[in-house]
Amino acid sequence: MIKVLVVDDHPMVRSGLAALLSAYDDLELIGEAANGAEAVRLCEKLNPDVVLMDLVMPEMDGAAATRAIRAKNPNIQVLALTSFKEEDLVQSALRAGAIGYLLKNVTADELARAIRAARAGRGTLAPEAAQVLIEATTHPPFPGNDLTEREREVLALMVQGLSNQDIAKRLYVSQSTVKFHVSSILSKLGVSNRTEAVALATRYRLV
């Protein structure tokens, strides 16, 4: 028997997965969790073979839970099962140690096969997730494409040479808020200081 733990913040989804698993003689549902933190605790207590992990949940998201579970017990395989196919979610789940990434439109037999493959140490990727990874590899993201509207406003004022204090006055926010935005901008642009950020913004016409 393959022991399976289901993690999802929607009771109806957990109920549906429980019914699905009961249709297969070699799959056994041993527990359910409504968030990542609860999943980590149940894994220590129940020691499942495979965890079906939702990614977008309260308290602790699926990627963080996957990382915590795999760090404590690398023998537990985590299979991401989500409604989302965005690149950052796919990447974060796989980097955290998930052995596979499936969408919730998967058929019962496809999910059962993926669980069996995970137990055997073989990964399974939804075609949509594979396509996202291929596109990310062949078309690297343009610098600054993930900046928020507010971060672009702050960056534009940085390009004008304004200090954090001046930016705070211009945007009617606190200096600590500006400092937070500047730090986020530097991180997203992959630069270490304001001068580099301004140079990159000018070069790629980000503002």
What's residue 24's pLDDT?
98
3-state secondary structure of 122: coil
Q: Which fold has domain 149-203?
A: Arc Repressor Mutant, subunit A (1.10.10)
Predicted TM-score of the model (pTM): 0.68
Task: Specify burial of residue 170 (Cβ count, 10 A radius: 0-12, 13-18, 19+).
Answer: middle
- What angle is formed at CA 184 by the lines to CA 137 and CA 187, rounded to 5 degrees? 45
CATH 1.10.10.10 residue ranges of the chain are 149-203
For the chain, the first-to-last Cα distance in angstroms comes to 57
Q: Which fold has domain 2-138?
A: Rossmann fold (3.40.50)
3-state secondary structure of 84: coil
| 55 neighbors 61 (Cβ within 8 angstroms) | yes
| φ, ψ (nearest 5 deg) of residue 149 | -60, -40
In the predicted structure, residue 76 carries a pLDDT above the cut 60: yes
- What angle is formed at CA 195 by the lines to CA 156 and CA 189, rounded to 5 degrees? 70
Give pLDDT tens digits for 132-172: 888 777 765 677 888 999 999 999 999 999 999 999 999 99
Question: Mean of the pLDDT values across residues 159-187?
Answer: 95
Q: Give the closest residue to 82 by CA, choosing from 73, 94, 71.
A: 94
In the predicted structure, residue 86 carries a pLDDT above the cut 60: yes
CATH 3.40.50.2300 residue ranges of the chain are 2-138
Q: Report how far residue 10's alpha carbon sits from residue 175's, in angstroms, rounded to the nearest whole number.
A: 40
